[in-house]
Amino acid sequence: MRDDGQMPRVDLFDLDHAPITVQDYFTVGDPGPIVAALAAVPELMAPTLGFIGAALGPGSIGVRYKEFAILRTSVLQGCSYCIHAHTTVSLDAGLSNLEIRALRGEVALEVGFPLDDERALIGWIDALAGATGPIPDDVWHAAQRYWPQHSLVELTVTVGATMFLNRFATGFQLPTAPHVTERLVAAGMA
Amino acid sequence: MSDTIVSTGTIAAAVQSGELPARVWMYSNYHCNLACSYCLTESSPRSERRQLTAEQMIAVAEQARELGFTALGITGGEPFLLPWLPETVLAMAEHLPLVLLTNGTLFAGDRIERAAALAHPDVALQISLDSHLPDVNDMARGPDNFAKVVEAVPRLLARGVRVRIATTTGGPLDSPALSPLQHLVASLGVAEADHLIRPIVRRGRADEFGLGVQAVARDIPCELTITGDGAFWGSFGPTVRSGRLDTDLLLTRTILPLAVPANALLGVLRGMPEGTDARLGIR
Ligand code: SF4
C-alpha cells in the first residue's frame, strides 16, 4: 500500500489552534489526524467520536469480528489510511498475518478463512461495503444461518461507520502516522 | 464538557444568575475603511468580509431574547459599510437593546442621516477615540480620524442618537494622562459613564506589532460572539492573524439555532475552574 506522500487537504489542528470546546482532546498528546481534522467543526467532535467509538469498539461480537468488518470494508473502499491503521489493530486483536492478507485481498479468502461461518460473515460485509443496491437473499440467508440478528445489526453499524471514516480519511488525504508505518514494516505487512 | 446538554430554560437561568454573560455579540463584517495598527481583526478595505447576513443578525437577536439573553452588541470591521445596516439594527432592537460599535468616520455631511435613523432608546453607538491629541489618535487610527469623530459626535447627539466613546490604551487604565481626553469627551456632550477605557488586547494585528496585554484564552471576557465563521467564547475571540482566523476560542461552527453555541458556551464555562473571570479590564 502506498501513501503517495500526499498532503492533507484540510487543516489538522494542534493544541494552539484547537477550539476551546475540544481542547481536552489535544492536551494528552497528538490525538491523530481524524480528531485533528474534526476540530474544524468542534460541535461534531463528541457525537462523531462517540458514534465511532461505539461502532468500532469491541461491542458484543468482539474485536476479532469487528476487525473483519473494519479492515475488509476499508479494503473495499480503497482507504489506505484505514487499511494501515487497522492492519495494526487487527494484529493486536490476534488475527494472523494470513488472515489479514486474506481480508486485504492478497490471498484467497478460503485460504485465510476455512470456516463457513466466518466466510458467511465476510460475505455479508462484502455485500454491504463492496457493492451498491439491494443485497442478494442468499448472502443474507448464509449470514443469518450462523449469526444472530443482533450480531449482524451490530456489525452492519460497524461497516457503515467504517465507510464514513474511509471517505473522511481518503477525501481529506489524512496521513498515516509514522508509528503505524513502522509497525507495518516490522510486521512485514507494509 | 462539550457534550453537556442544556435546555433553553437553563440558558435563561444561567443569564439571570450571572453565570452566563447577558450580552450576545455579532461581527457583522470584517472589512473596514480604516486599518488601525492595533486592529484585532486585521481589518482594512481589502480584508475578507466574513459577513453575517441581515437575516442571520435578526434571527440571532430574536433567538437571543427567546433564550434569555438581555442585550446585543454589533462590531466589525466597520458595520456602517453594510448598506442594509440601519434598518437591520432597528429590526434587532425590536428584540433587545443593543450597542453598535463604529469608528465614526463615515458620517460626514449628509451621511450622518444614516446614523441618525438609529435615534432609538434601545440603540447606542460606541465610537472609538484614543487621544485628545489628534496626531497621537491618528497615528494608530489613520489620518483625519480625530477630526471626523470630534465632528460626528455632537451631530449624532443633536439628532437624538445615543453615543458612547471607547478609548483603547496601551498604558494604565487610570493614568492621569487620560484626563485631557476625558475632558474632551465630556465637552462633546458624552456622559462620563458612557466613556469606556480599555487596554489593547494582544491578538490580531496588535500581536504582530507586539502591542498590548497578552491575553490567554481564559483571561478574555466571556460573551457569546457570533460571526460568519462560527460562534466564539468572547468578542475578542474571532481575531485574525496573518490573514488567518484564530480558532482557539471557537465554540461551534453552527450559529443558528443560537441554542447550539449558547449551550456549548455554558458547557465550557461549567467545565472551567472558579475565578477565571477577566482580570485584565478588557470590555
Ligand atoms: S480597529 Fe476598528 S476602525 Fe480600526 S481597522 Fe479595526 S475595525 Fe476598523
pLDDT of B8: 53
Q: Largest Cα–Cα distance in chain B?
A: 52
Q: What angle is formed at CA A173 by the lines to CA A169 and CA A177, rounded to 5 degrees?
A: 75
> What CATH number is given to the structural domain containing B137?
3.20.20.70
Three-state secondary structure call for residue B77: coil
Computed over every residue of chain B, the mean pLDDT equals: 89
Q: CB-based contact (8 Å) between A19 and chain B?
A: yes
B137 vs B130: CA distance, rounded Å: 5
pLDDT of B208: 63
In-domain check, residue B163: yes
pLDDT digits (tens, 9 = 90+) for B111-156: 999 999 999 999 999 998 999 999 998 988 888 899 999 999 999 9
Residue % of chain B over a pLDDT of 90: 75
pLDDT digits (tens, 9 = 90+) for A131-162: 999 999 999 999 999 999 999 999 999 999 99
Per the structure, the count of domains in chain B is 1
Domain housing B145: 28-240
B15 vs A166: CA distance, rounded Å: 43
| Average pLDDT of the segment spanning B252-262 | 97
Cβ separation A24–B254 shorter than 8 A: no
- Is residue B219 over pLDDT 90? no
- Is residue B110 over pLDDT 80? yes
Cell 492573524 locates to B241
What DSSP state is assigned to residue B218? G
In-domain check, residue B203: yes
Cβ separation B217–A20 shorter than 8 A: yes
Sign of CA dihedral B98, B103, B105, B106: negative
Cβ separation A21–B254 shorter than 8 A: no
In-domain check, residue B260: no
Helix or strand run (H / E) with residue A38:
helix A33-38
- Is residue B1 over pLDDT 50? no
DSSP B167-217: EEESS-TT-GGGHHHHHHHHHTT--GGGEEEEEPBSSHHHHHTT-SB---G
Confidence of residue B96 (pLDDT cuts 50, 70, 90): very high
Q: Which of B106, B139, B141, B211 to mutate to test the pocket of ligand 1 (most atoms within 8 A of CB)?
A: B141
B90: CA distance to ligand 1 center in Å?
Answer: 23
Q: Which residues line ligand 1 (CB under 6 A)?
A: B 32, 34-36, 39, 41, 43, 76-78, 103, 141
pLDDT digits (tens, 9 = 90+) for A9-42: 999 999 999 999 999 999 988 999 999 999 999 9
Give B240's contacts in chain A (Cβ within 8 Å). Answer: none
In-domain check, residue B21: no
Closest residue by Cα to residue B260 from B15, B19, B67: B67
User: Which three three-digit cell numbers place residue B148?
Assistant: 471626523
Q: What is the ipTM of this complex?
A: 0.85
**Angle formed by the axes of helices B134-141 and B145-158, to 10°?**
100
Give B247's contacts in chain A (Cβ within 8 Å). Answer: 13, 17-19, 39-40
Pair type for strands B225-227 and B230-232: antiparallel
Residues B203, B241: contact at Cβ < 8 Å? yes
A95 vs A93: CA distance, rounded Å: 6
In-domain check, residue B247: no
B156: CA distance to ligand 1 center in Å?
Answer: 20
Closest residue CA from atom 5 of ligand 1? B35
Q: CB-based contact (8 Å) between A18 and chain B?
A: yes
pLDDT of B221: 83
Confidence of residue B218 (pLDDT cuts 50, 70, 90): low
- Is residue A176 over pLDDT 70? yes
Confidence of residue B238 (pLDDT cuts 50, 70, 90): very high
Nearest-CA residue of chain B relative to A49? B3
3-state per-residue secondary structure call for B38-49: CCCCCCCCCCCC
B26 vs B230: CA distance, rounded Å: 10
Pick from A46-50, A128-132, B269-273: least confident: B269-273
Other C-beta atoms within 10 Å of B175: how many? 10
| Distance set, CA A68 to CA A125, A181, B241, B274 (Å) | 8, 20, 46, 48
Min Cα distance B2 → chain A (Å) is 6
In-domain check, residue B269: no
In-domain check, residue B267: no
Please state the φ and ψ torsions of residue B71, each to the nearest 5 degrees.
Answer: -155, 155
3-state per-residue secondary structure call for B16-33: HCCCCCCEEEEECCCCCC
pLDDT of B198: 87
Confidence of residue B279 (pLDDT cuts 50, 70, 90): very low
Structural domains in chain A, sorted by start = 59-186 (1.20.1290.10)
Cβ separation A19–B268 shorter than 8 A: no
Confidence of residue B217 (pLDDT cuts 50, 70, 90): low
Residues 6+ apart with CB under 8 A from A102: A108, A109, A111, A112, A113
Residues A169, A82: contact at Cβ < 8 Å? yes
The better pLDDT of the pair A83, B220 is held by A83
Closest residue CA from atom 1 of ligand 1? B39
Confidence of residue B227 (pLDDT cuts 50, 70, 90): very high
B26 vs B34: CA distance, rounded Å: 19
What DSSP state is assigned to residue B98? E
B232 vs A176: CA distance, rounded Å: 32
| Average pLDDT of the segment spanning B219-235 | 93
Closest residue by Cα to residue A189 from A88, A115, A66: A88
Residues B257, B9: contact at Cβ < 8 Å? no
Confidence of residue A58 (pLDDT cuts 50, 70, 90): confident
Closest residue CA from atom 7 of ligand 1? B77
Closest residue CA from atom 6 of ligand 1? B39
Pair type for strands B123-128 and B230-232: unpaired
Nearest-CA residue of chain A relative to B266? A21
User: Which three three-digit cell numbers place residue B174?
Assistant: 487610570
Confidence of residue A104 (pLDDT cuts 50, 70, 90): very high
In-domain check, residue B20: no
